Structure 1
């Protein structure tokens, strides 16, 4: 056997020994904003924000809690128990199967989690919607979790902060999903009657019934940069009014310019900004 054949065979042997499972499939992250390939570790260390174009990626509830609470420490509030698949809904799949798949992929019971922790040394209850769970859709589980978070805040005399990320109402629950809008609005009114702050942080994307209810009735409205914030899709609006919408319509920057937001905050600045707001707005507790 010639030396060339020996080298060729050696290379082939090494190549065959490297299987798919030996090569990490999550080593790189492709930014949806600019298409840049980023090392996943670098991306996560930068709080899931692209270092090239500042695109703020979507993150889950527990990751959000670790980012905003002091030293990443928090206590999860127990999720409320709600009837599952109350309408026995089925489209291309059974709703029960969709729930099972969403829970398997996210390891969460539903699209909104609450946690208690300190931000800048000040305690707060924080609710976070996870777009990865059926598009963060608002069903009975989300409504009950939101109301439970507010009731916990009232009971402990704490502010309530919610991070929204949703495509709107959960169609598989029909009218039961839409009923959450007034229920959650009433809960916010109870929080305000108790003299406690309600702060909303809108993240990409927030739309539909969520945008039309509890996402825009806060005492203060923050948003992450370049987030899509809308009641309905751009194409639907253009087809309805038969006009071309302005560039940048339905973004954080457009809403800020037109008075619907108080400020746009970079993800790395959110803990400090929230701490400053809590220092201004949170009630001072009497010494024991």
Structure 2
């Protein structure tokens, strides 16, 4: 496998310096990113990733480069897959503001990069062992227009994941500034009660996850009720299942939250539907 990245439309070696030190993404977290799963040489759900990226770029007032449109987005990923030989992996797209300046940029022009790293599993796979999780009692996520986008400022998730590691946990759940449970440090959150799916609403400040939307759509298409609503710690204790979702791992079920033990029947059903949807879309 060749170590290559796409920087502003050009393939360059990925094992050496790629961006300048003064890059605004590095200095200020001024940009956003998308993480995509590549299955059998094709990136999954690129329409949804592109749409979210365009919306986020408009919010951050970052102009899209002239050589980056919807068609080029897929073409750059395909080229990276062919040149690296990585047919099953994680593709990260990063959009950053290229202008100089300090907090106030001198330009709103955008630059971009694609990276691709291999994964051992060829497609989405449900974890065999349930995750050990708890609520992070530290910082809370503010509810604002940035909350649903994947900006380059990920410090909240880094701190949450460090807390989980320090306490012997696999993951942790985050709260918003109102005390609602909104997501985990690694993705969106769903609970199952009496066969019905519940997930925090976007108005509560969770990331507008691509996989979150896929799970909701797959569930509804297969007769599974879904409600987007506010969730609190009591809802976690009353639930039959708890699982997290993201575009790279798919569905990951939690087995233990404090004294609560969870099943994973519906998490398995959703994973099966997801694998089938991915297989059909790649044909």
Q: TM-score, normalised by structure 1?
A: 0.26
Larger radius of gyration: 1
Higher relative contact order at CA 8 Å, sep ≥6: structure 1 or structure 2?
Answer: 2
More helix by share: 1
Q: TM-score, normalised by structure 2?
A: 0.26
